[in-house]
Amino acid sequence: MTRRWTTAVLDPQRNEGRAVVHSPQGFLMGEEGVLFSRQWLASLDLPLLSEHGIGHFDGEPVYLWVLPQAVELPGLAWQGLRQFMLQGDFAVYQKLGYAAQIATWAREHRFCGACGQPTVQVPGERAMYCAADDLRFYPRISPSMIVLITRGDEILLARSPRFVTGIYSVLAGFAEPGESAEDCVRREVMEEVRLTVRNIQYIGSQCWPFPHSMMLGFHAEYESGEIIRQPEEIEDARWFSIHDLPPLPANRSIARYLIDLYLARRSGAPEPVLPG
């Protein structure tokens, strides 16, 4: 039987269900995973900032406990979200990605950005509220483009100084106000490697909860220019033959999907499926 997550805004006042615990260091992990009895967690006297109902798992209510920092607990450990992405049940990672974004929002909006007064949770709605300014603060989602640029049997790959050593990936960047996703592709490619592109095609999207991006995936063809790196953003960028590629991003990422999809289409192999 498939284990299923469903998303919902639940009332934390109800004494039921289980919870996941999040701190800036990741999720609390035990021998049986990340789900804990709420009653048992209450007995630990944790430094709880807030609690949020996030949905159901196999029909059982699940809540998110948000902590200001990790605390040491016997027999338990903290695990970062990227580790869940790279290994284990992808459906669980998706739910934890959602929980991590709610936790980030909850920490960042405990106080009103206009007047500095404490905010309160809005019952039945995913919002924090400031009564003094009559303002609601919703979870942030930051749209960004990610694009594979190709030139026949070559693909453009680059390295950011922030990448794992040796890994090359496709170009990416955040959309600016008033900018379409396609305009963002053109601008980011020009800024990062000084190339122009054509035939921009939307491929698919993926939630990227590091901390709150929505990645819009594109394929574009090289049009003109020579690679000139943006030094503060790009450590190395070059054309690679599809027959001789460097180490690539994780399999569950949209970056890897864009690369694998192009390779499949060039070779006639079955096309991969974009992870959730």
Q: How many CA atoms lie within 13 A of 91 on its CB side?
A: 9
Which class does domain 142-267 fall in?
alpha beta
CB 32 within 8 A of CB 75: no
For range 237-263, the mean pLDDT: 97
115-145: pLDDT as tens digits: 999 999 998 899 999 999 999 999 999 999 9
Mean confidence (pLDDT) of the chain: 94
- CA 108, CA 106: separation in Å to the nearest integer? 6
What local confidence, expressed as pLDDT, does residue 88 receive?
75
Look up tokens 């109902």; give the residue: 53
pTM of the model: 0.90
Domain boundaries, the chain: 5-108, 142-267
Q: What is the mean pLDDT of residues 212-239?
A: 97
pLDDT of residue 2: 46
* pLDDT band (50, 70, 90) for residue 1: very low
Over residues 43-55, the mean pLDDT reads 93
Query: CATH: 3.30.1490, 3.30.1330, 2.60.40, 3.90.79. Which one for 5-108?
Result: 3.90.79
pLDDT of residue 3: 57
7/236: higher pLDDT: 236
| Average pLDDT estimate for 145-174 | 96
Q: Contacts by 75-83 with C-beta closer than 8 Å and gap 24+? A: 75/30, 75/31, 76/28, 76/29, 76/30, 77/28, 77/29, 78/23, 78/25, 78/26, 78/27, 78/28, 78/29, 79/26, 79/27, 79/29, 80/25, 80/26, 81/26, 81/27, 81/209, 81/210, 82/210, 83/26
10 vs 125: which has the higher pLDDT: 125
Query: Percentage of residues in the chain with pLDDT exceeding 70?
Result: 99
Within 10 Å of residue 200's Cβ, how many Cβ atoms?
Answer: 18
pLDDT (mean) for 84-95: 86
Is 21's pLDDT higher than 70?
yes
- pLDDT score at 6: 79
Domain 142-267 in the same topology as domain 5-108: yes
Indicate the pLDDT class of residue 202, thresholds 50, 70 and 90.
Answer: very high
| pLDDT over 50 (residue 162) | yes
pLDDT(15) > 90: no
Q: How confident is the model at residue 32 (pLDDT cuts 50, 70, 90)?
A: confident
